[in-house]
């Protein structure tokens, strides 16, 4: 079964509103989680690194004020897309690295969350 869960699996929101996506590690703790975005027929693009208890690290070109990341516990990171626009419609995927070895040498991906902004 899934060890990293994302919620919601899909969401439709109106342009200008904000939407939150959760990423949970179900049976391990993770100080580090990663958020990716994937447009149709394209590859996964890393958006940011979510660090438990500290600020997220954003990749170049990703607006930190638009994509708010909160990693308040060792099992939960959230991505909030603020003032969403149709161009933000995408497949958002998180991954998590277990804190403890040997599983710490593996990355687990969530099943992704489809966001459609209308």
Partner 1 sequence: GESVGLHLPTLSVQEGDNSIINCAYSNSASDYFIWYKQESGKGPQFIIDIRSNMDKRQGQRVTVLLNKTVKHLSLQIAATQPGDSAVYFCAENKDSSYKLIFGSGTRLLVRP
**Cβ-Cβ contacts under 8 Å for 92 (sequence gap 6 or more):** 6, 21, 35, 36, 37, 38, 79, 112, 113, 114, 115
Which of 58/82 has CB closer to partner 1? 58
Q: How big is the site for partner 1, counted in residues (CB under 8 A)?
A: 22
For partner 1, the binding residues in 54-73 under the rule CB under 8 A are: none
For partner 1, the binding residues in 26-45 under the rule CB under 8 A are: 32, 34, 36, 42-45
**Quick one: which of 111, 28, 31, 19 has its CA closest to 72?**
31
93 contributes a contact to partner 1 by CB under 8 A = yes
Q: Whose structure tokens read 């869960």?
A: 5
**Quick one: which of 40, 33, 37, 44 has its CA closest to 63?**
37
89 contributes a contact to partner 1 by CB under 8 A = no
Among 46, 63, 83, 85, binds partner 1 (CB under 8 A): 46
CB of 8 to partner 1, least distance (A): 14
Which residues of the chain form contacts with partner 1 (CB under 8 A)? Answer: 6, 32, 34, 36, 42-46, 49, 91, 93, 95, 97, 106-112, 114
């Amino acid at each position: 079964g899934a060890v990293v869960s994302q919620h919601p699996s899909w969401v439709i929101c109106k342009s200008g509103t904000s939407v939150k996506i959760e990423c949970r590690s179900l049976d391990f703790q993770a100080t580090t989680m990663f958020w990716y975005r994937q447009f149709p027929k394209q590859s996964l693009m890393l958006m940011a690194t979510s660090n438990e208890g500290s600020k997220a690290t954003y990749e170049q070109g990703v607006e930190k004020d638009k994509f708010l990341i909160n990693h308040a516990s060792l099992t939960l990171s959230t991505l909030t897309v603020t003032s969403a626009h149709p161009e933000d419609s995408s497949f958002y995927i998180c991954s998590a690295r277990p804190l403890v070895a040997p599983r710490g040498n593996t990355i687990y991906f969530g099943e992704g969350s489809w966001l459609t902004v209308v």
